[in-house]
Amino acid sequence: MTLQHYLVISAILFTLGIFAVLTRRNAISILMGIELILNSCNLNFAAFSRFVTPPEDISGQIIAIFGIVLAAAEAAVFLAIILAIYREFGSIRPNEVDTLKG
Amino acid sequence: MTVSLISLILLCPLAAFAVFGLLGLANRRFPRQDYLSTAAMLIALACSFLLLREVVPEPETHTVNWVSLGSVTFSMGFYLDSVTAIMLIVVTLVSSLVHIFSMGYMHGDPRYPRFFAYLSLFSFSMLFLVVSDNLLGIYIGWELVGLCSYLLIGFWFEKDSAANACKKAFLTTRVGDVGMFIGMMMLFTKFKTLSLYGEGGIFALAASQLTTGDMVWLSIAGVLIFCGAIGKSAQMPLHTWLPDAMEGPTPVSALIHAATMVAAGVYLTARMFPILTETSSLVIAYVGGITALVAATIAIVRFDIKRVLAYSTISQLGYMMLAIGAGSYVAGLFHLTTHAFFKALLFLGSGSVIHAFHAMHAHGHDDEHEHDDSDAHGHEHNEDSDSGHVLGSEIPPDQDMRNMGGLRHKMPITFITMLIATLSISGVPFIFSGFWSKDAILAGVLGRAMEWNSVHHYILFIMALSAAGITAFYMFRLIFMTFFGEPRNQEMHDMAHESPLSMTVPLLILAVLSLPVVNTLWFNAAYVKPPPQPHLHAPAHAYIAPDTKGGTGLAFSLFGVSEAVAAEENAGHDTHGTHADDGHHGHGPAHTIAMVLSICVAGLGIFLSWLFYHRRTLSAESVTTTFRPIYDLFWHKYYFDEFYDGVLVALTVWKARLFAQFDGTVVDGIVNGVGVVTRDILAAFTGAFDNRVVDGIVNRVAQVTWAVGGRIRRIQTGAIQTYLFVVLAGIVLLILIFRAL
């Protein structure tokens, strides 16, 4: 398993995440897409830490762990916002929440 | 010493006024303004007496430079000679007595403190005028007394007649003042100074620089300055304001319009004595003589006690002018002095009578003076009631002599003192001052007539003599109508009473002052010398009697005054270079003739008056009917007021209408035309420009912005995924671009 394998998998994950964010009709699905994107990033950090930087430098892996924590916090905030939107609009479909339309 | 005394004399009354003025700014009153003003005047009076002792033969001048304008410097200063000292005594003495009198007369007036403050201001102005050593200072004092006169005539300004009278006084004297100012400017352009005395003064320069060719110019300047005196001293033809000025309170009439301010014109003329030429002297003498005669004839037919006295004042002022014009400088000033006292006494006495009558138709003084014509005791319709009303001819009942009579028992002090003054003004010989001063004038005029053999002066002498007789007549008419006979209005008579002490004491003092012995105390002590008149030359045909001076001087040498008059004659001769001084004993036959004639006419006047108004052997009514046209002439005061109303006032009103019409048509037309042009043409054009161009640009900008905004706003869909897509597309694009670079 070389660095290229990891990067390919990461790219596939990122692309799937972007696709989900742009196309899903459900806010929860969009959240899941975002999680995919974040995890693809974490995978990249870990991979670069293992294959590129010297073994004693583990800052890439640390950042990956930070990323996981970040994703957890972000999910909590996101879910809170979705709840608020649901109360306001009675829906969590993003295309129906368009009050800021010009 | 003299400077500090003069300063004190000036500052005391000014300070009394300043207290009133400064507290007035704070809207407060000094509780005893009357005491303050009176005390100030008494201090000034004491200083004047002290000053009398300081007068030395050589006049003193104390001058400081006031303002410098380029090469011209105006100075301010005091000039002290015997005349100044005498005038100071006269002004402060009469003013003090009037202050005291006013405490009784004005008691209870709502503007009582203000009255005293005005009196103080007037006293200051008059004293300033008297002591000034230059024409500018005299002019300042001159206008200030005019202002005070205006304020005090109009003191009861609720009365229309008083308000009109003060305006009339101010405007009429203004006519003379313009002439005076032009005269001053003529002297100023010639000599570049307004100082009178000293080496650089007008008199010295006029004596040294002027040639015979300048005499016409100098005469004109002299007559123009005399115009100021015509206005202020109420000489013909500007005399009409003085009778109307009687609308003011009676103490004001006594102080300003009998004793002091109106005498300022005589004083000014006396001060200008050294630059009088033969022509200007003659003009002055004629104005004075005509005034003396005409005013006396008007006084005969007046029924208002104060107006009789007003015309009497005009007449006596004419006497003084005549004296100065005829070169009898000392006699003129002496008459000024004696007249100040006995005329002030007459006015205060009439004030006492009016005061006695006031009490009956006003329980308090507060509302007096407000119901003059509408009273129940209206005018009896006598022969004059059909004469039509001219300004000031309505007589308040308490001043109408036809309501008086028999008052001598009711008001003994007022009666006795007024009788003394009347004897004095009538020229009853020897124990009354008026005889001496009037006689000195008559003698002076006759003396000049004989000396110069001048027809003019003979005419003037006859005028003066007739006026003297008429004066005696109308003054005794006043006394008989007021104090003798039966009361004509029993109701008013019953209420009449003697005035309080504050009013009778000044009367008594003034009565003493009407005796010549008292007058000579200061008049002789100061020893008045007439200044030389370098521009006055005896006419070529003058007849100088070789020995006119040996006549009898018996009566004249009784009193020091006669010495001054005698000395004047001598001095007069000296200036003409025709006679050697033969001491103080020379008296021409002029004196004897004048004295005998004046006693005769005075006696005749008094006798006629007694026949008409006491014995009633002769009936004034029948004489009136017989000489109806002459009576009408006198009654209408020679139609001066009618003339002024009908011609000058009407002309002014007509002119005002003309200008109003000019204003209404031409000026308003131009203004309205400009308005129309502006509104209908310029404004229409700029309006259109504004509406089309400016608004057009603004609207277009707005419309374009609106349209563009309307299109562009569709970009903002509100759909979050669209935004994300765009962001992603942008990133991809950027990556591609950076790749390409």
Question: Hey, is the C-beta of A55 within 8 angstroms of any chain B C-beta?
Answer: no
- pLDDT score for B730: 94
Are B717 and A99 within 8 A, CB to CB? no
Cβ distance A42 to A67 under 8 Å? yes
Question: Hey, is the C-beta of B389 within 8 angstroms of any chain A C-beta?
Answer: no
User: For B239-270, how does the pLDDT look when each residue is reduced to its tens digit (9 = 90+)?
Assistant: 888 888 888 888 888 888 888 888 898 999 88
Mapping DSSP to helix (H, G, I), strand (E, B) and coil, where does residue B197 land?
Answer: coil
- Of the CA atoms within 13 Å of residue A56, those in its CB half-sphere come to 0
As a whole number, mean pLDDT of residues B467-471 equals 88
- Pick the residue with more confidence: A13 or B325? A13
- pLDDT score for B377: 37
**Per-residue pLDDT for B382 more than 50?**
no
* Percent of the residues in chain B that have a pLDDT greater than 70, as a whole number: 86
Q: pLDDT confidence of B405, banded at 50, 70, 90?
A: confident
Q: pLDDT confidence of B544, banded at 50, 70, 90?
A: very low
As a whole number, mean pLDDT of residues B334-353 equals 87
Which uninterrupted H or E stretch holds B73?
A: strand B72-80
User: For B687-739, how does the pLDDT look when each residue is reduced to its tens digit (9 = 90+)?
Assistant: 999 999 999 999 999 999 999 999 988 888 878 888 888 999 999 999 999 99
Which residues of B fall within a CB distance of 8 Å from A97? 718, 720
Tokens 């003011």 appear where?
B248
Chain A, chain B: beta-carbon pairs less than 8 Å apart: 33
- Give the tokens for residue A91: 């829906």
Candidates B138, B140, B146, B118; CA nearest to B14 is: B118
Cβ distance B285 to B273 under 8 Å? no
Which residues of A fall within a CB distance of 8 Å from B718? 97-102
Tokens 């007024």 appear where?
B418
Q: What is the maximal distance between C-alpha atoms in chain B?
A: 149
Question: Hey, is the C-beta of A85 within 8 angstroms of any chain B C-beta?
Answer: no
Question: Hey, is the C-beta of A78 within 8 angstroms of any chain B C-beta?
Answer: no
- pLDDT score for B521: 67
User: For A30-89, how does the pLDDT look when each residue is reduced to its tens digit (9 = 90+)?
Assistant: 999 999 999 999 999 999 998 988 888 889 999 999 999 999 999 999 999 999 999 988
State how far residue A38 is from chain B, nearest Cα, in angstroms.
16
Instruction: Decide: residue B105, CB within 10 A, 0-12 exposed, 13-18 middle, 19+ buried.
Output: buried
**Per-residue pLDDT for B283 more than 50?**
yes
Q: pLDDT confidence of B588, banded at 50, 70, 90?
A: low
Q: What backbone torsions phi and psi does residue B132 show, to the nearest 5 degrees? A: -65, 140
Cβ distance B335 to B441 under 8 Å? yes
- pLDDT score for B571: 47
- pLDDT score for B31: 75
CA angle B164, B165, B170 (to 5 degrees): 100
Q: pLDDT confidence of B69, banded at 50, 70, 90?
A: confident
As a whole number, mean pLDDT of residues B659-663 equals 92
CA nearest A101 in B: which residue? B718
- Pick the residue with more confidence: B626 or B286? B286
Are A94 and B721 within 8 A, CB to CB? yes
Q: pLDDT confidence of B633, banded at 50, 70, 90?
A: confident
**Per-residue pLDDT for B198 more than 60?**
yes
User: Cα separations (Å) of B89 from B50, B82, B211, B269?
Assistant: 10, 11, 38, 19
**Cα separation, B450 vs B587, whole angstroms:** 13
Are B713 and A102 within 8 A, CB to CB? yes
Query: Which CB contacts under 8 angstroms, 24+ apart, belong to B222-225?
Result: B222/B183, B222/B272, B222/B275, B222/B276, B222/B277, B222/B280, B223/B183, B223/B279, B223/B280, B223/B283, B223/B284, B224/B179, B224/B180, B224/B182, B224/B183, B224/B186, B225/B179, B225/B180, B225/B183, B225/B184, B225/B187, B225/B268, B225/B272
Candidates B571, B563, B580, B319; CA nearest to B441 is: B319
Interface ipTM above 0.90:
no
**Per-residue pLDDT for B484 more than 70?**
yes
State how far residue B695 is from chain A, nearest Cα, in angstroms.
29
- pLDDT score for B108: 80
DSSP 3-state percent helix, strand, coil across chain A (nearest 5) = 80, 0, 20
Candidates B575, B573, B577, B576; CA nearest to B549 is: B573
CA nearest A99 in B: which residue? B718
- pLDDT score for B368: 40
Q: Which of B258-262, B271-275, B531-535 has the lowest mean pLDDT?
A: B531-535
DSSP 3-state percent helix, strand, coil across chain B (nearest 5) = 75, 5, 25
- Give the tokens for residue B15: 């300070």
β-pairing verdict for B60-69 and B72-80: antiparallel
- Closest CB from A18, A23, A98 relative to B717: A98
Task: Round the average pLDDT of chain B to a whole number and report it.
Answer: 79
User: For B491-507, how does the pLDDT look when each residue is reduced to its tens digit (9 = 90+)?
Assistant: 777 777 777 788 888 88
Candidates B149, B155, B195, B192; CA nearest to B172 is: B149
Give the amino acid at B170: F
**Per-residue pLDDT for B364 more than 50?**
no
Mapping DSSP to helix (H, G, I), strand (E, B) and coil, where does residue B232 land?
Answer: helix
Which residues of B fall within a CB distance of 8 Å from A95? 719, 721
Q: Which residues fall within 8 angstroms of residue B602, CB to CB, at 6 or more apart? A: B426, B427, B428, B429, B435, B468, B469, B472
pTM of the model: 0.71
Are B728 and A22 within 8 A, CB to CB? yes
* DSSP category for residue B736: H
CATH class for the domain made up of A3-91: mainly alpha
**Cα separation, A82 vs A61, whole angstroms:** 31
CA nearest B713 in A: which residue? A102
**Domain positions in chain A:** 3-91
CA nearest A24 in B: which residue? B721
Are A94 and B720 within 8 A, CB to CB? yes
Question: Hey, is the C-beta of A2 within 8 angstroms of any chain B C-beta?
Answer: no
Per DSSP, what are the bridge partners of residue B78?
A: B62, B132
Which residues of B fall within a CB distance of 8 Å from A22? 721, 724-725, 728
- pLDDT score for B36: 86
- pLDDT score for B619: 74
**Cα separation, A100 vs A88, whole angstroms:** 14
Q: pLDDT confidence of B538, banded at 50, 70, 90?
A: low
Cβ distance B343 to B258 under 8 Å? yes
Count, in order, helices (H) and strands (E) of chain B: 30, 2
Question: Hey, is the C-beta of A82 within 8 angstroms of any chain B C-beta?
Answer: no
- Pick the residue with more confidence: A72 or B603? A72
Which residues of B fall within a CB distance of 8 Å from A18? 728
Are B724 and A22 within 8 A, CB to CB? yes
Q: pLDDT confidence of B57, banded at 50, 70, 90?
A: low
Interface mutation vs chain A, best among B714, B720, B728, most A CBs within 10 Å: B720
CA nearest B712 in A: which residue? A102
- Pick the residue with more confidence: B450 or A70? A70
Query: Which CB contacts under 8 angstroms, 24+ apart, belong to B520-524?
Result: B520/B559, B520/B560, B520/B561, B522/B52, B522/B85, B522/B86, B522/B89, B523/B86, B523/B334, B523/B337, B523/B560, B523/B561, B523/B564, B524/B559, B524/B560, B524/B561, B524/B563, B524/B564
Question: Hey, is the C-beta of B724 within 8 angstroms of any chain A C-beta?
Answer: yes
Count of beta carbons in the 10 Å neighbourhood of residue B214: 15
State how far residue B673 is from chain A, nearest Cα, in angstroms.
58
- Closest CB from A22, A99, A102 relative to B721: A22
CA nearest B724 in A: which residue? A22
Q: pLDDT confidence of B551, banded at 50, 70, 90?
A: very low
User: For B93-127, how does the pLDDT look when each residue is reduced to its tens digit (9 = 90+)?
Assistant: 899 988 888 888 888 888 888 888 898 999 999 99
Which of 656-715 (B) contact A at CB < 8 A?
712-715
3-state SS, B683-694, equals: HHHHHHHHHHHH
**Cα separation, B620 vs B213, whole angstroms:** 55
